[in-house]
Amino acid sequence: MEEFLTDRLKTQEYFLNMGPQHPATHGVLMLLLKLDGEIIQNVELDLGYIHRSIEKMCERDTYKQIIHLTDRLDYLSSHMNNEAVCLLVEDALNIEVADRIKVIRTMMSELSRISSHVLWWGVMGMDIGALTTFMYGFREREMINDIFEETCGARLTMNYNVIGGVRYDLHENFAKRVKDFITHFRKKLPEYDKLLSNNIIFQKRLEGIGYISKEDAVAYGLNGPTARGSGVSCDVRKIHPYSAYDRVEFEEILFPEGDSYARYRVRIREMWESLSILEQLVDKIPEGEHRVKTKAVIKLPEGDFLQRVESARGDFGVYVKSDGQKFPYRLKFRSPGFANLTALNKMAKGLKIADLVAILSTIDIVVPDIDR
């Protein structure tokens, strides 16, 4: 029978261009799929559709000007990206920032993380086919965006950090709005679980899909929630505490399963942790200056500098090689999404197209972060 089938029924592998315009690729990512029916034989990534050569642009910009470019990398964690550059320059120049600034930065980072995760949750549901989650996610995101807009002046590309502090002082409504948000979100987060996490179809779609072992996760350099879903401890906030992370208590969420559902749960739990960080800080924002005076022209001393922060997608790093000028000699961003995406082939091989979409969602990519 086998022979008969292979003789008479010739099957053929074929290629499918998924993207660059495709609803599931979250932007302009292109995947070249080699398929056998619906089963994925190979995934090849084709990047470069949104390459803006931001790293090169940074080499012609002063350190102050670089900050606003980092908004345009991973736009969902723009605050953390800003912070990374600022921390790097402050470290290099030994600028001591006040406690107030540190706390403000930490709170903004956590708000960004929640807003990014909330958006991810909505889109995740949409990729799996539950269209309503998108709007529910946006409801919460809108509240955070309002907080950002009131204090920072923008909703997405906030550009709030400056070298030596933050651009504006906290708005007087800030604490109240954050508290409102915390109470609101504490009520809504369980709804997320009821609507999606516990849904039998959703669980069956994710469980055991896109497995990557702890060893492989380390080998591929996965980071952030994606790696923590495989049980790799990699939270920069814990390993190299920066800003006010050394004075708050939070848990690094680890799930050892390594499948899509584990990665999903890591992010849901992280939202709870971020909420608790916010709660710990919101009543204890120290008084003081929001900004330290810095020189008009900032020149880094000669040498190499590296700063890592935990962005919403993982370990975001900035590396600067300086030759003592006011421009960096070479600047490199280590983007979390790029490393995570490399494991896609490993995760998706042998699964179906629908699974690929689910895996792509749980990796939580932002394409401008991958293609800089």
Partner 1 sequence: MSYFSDIINGTKSLLIGMRITGKYFFVNFLTRKDVITEQYPDNLETLNMFDRYRGEVTMYHNENNEHRCDACTLCEKACPNGSIEIISDKELNPETGKNVRYIVKHIYHLEMCTMCGLCIEACPQDAIQWGQNFHHVQYDRGKLTKVLNKPGSKIMIKTKEKK
Partner 2 sequence: MILNIFTDIHNLLLGLMSAKAVHITELVLIGVAYLGIFAVLGLFLVWLERRVAGFFQLRLGPNRVGPSGLFQTIADALKLVSKELTGTVKADKQLYKIAPYFVITTALMAMALIPFSQEIQAFDINIGVFFLISVSSIGVLGIFLAGWSSNNKYSLIGGMRTGIQMISYELSVGMAVVTMVVLAGTLQISEIVELQKSGWFIFTGHIPAIIAFMIFMIAGTAESNRVPFDLVEAESELGAGFHTEYSGMRFAYYFLAEFVNMFIIASIAVVLFFGGWLSPFGITDAIPFAGLFWFTVKVIAVIFIFMWFRWTFPRFRIDQLLTLEWKYLLPINMVNIVLMALMVWLGLTF
CB of 369 to partner 1, least distance (A): 17
Quickly tell me which residue has 């010739």 as its tokens. Answer: 10
Q: Considering only residues 152, 277, 358, 367, which one is a binding residue for partner 1 as defined by CB under 8 A?
A: 152
Q: What count of Cα atoms within 13 Å lies in the side-chain half-sphere of residue 339?
A: 21
CB-CB contact of 9 with 3 (8 Å): no
Residue 134 touches which of partner 2, partner 1, none (Cβ within 5-8 Å per kind): partner 2
Asked if residue 279 binds partner 1 (CB under 8 A), the reply is no
Among residues 160 and 242, whose Cβ is nearest to partner 1? 160
Among residues 159 and 274, whose Cβ is nearest to partner 1? 159
Residue 137 touches which of partner 1, partner 2, none (Cβ within 5-8 Å per kind): none
Of 108, 73, 70, nearest to 365 by C-alpha is 73
Q: Considering only residues 199, 276, 280, 345, which one is a binding residue for partner 1 as defined by CB under 8 A?
A: 199
Q: Considering only residues 56, 139, 184, 284, which one is a binding residue for partner 1 as defined by CB under 8 A?
A: 139
Asked if residue 201 binds partner 1 (CB under 8 A), the reply is yes
Q: Considering only residues 40, 54, 69, 271, which one is a binding residue for partner 1 as defined by CB under 8 A?
A: 69
Q: Angle at which helices 174-192 and 132-152 pack, to 10 degrees? A: 170
Judged by CB under 8 A, the chain residues 66 through 125 that form the site for partner 2 are 125
Judged by CB under 8 A, the chain residues 169 through 198 that form the site for partner 2 are 195-196
Residues found near partner 2 in the complex (CB under 8 A): 14, 16, 22-24, 38, 125-132, 134-136, 139, 195-196, 199, 201-202, 204-205, 352-355, 357
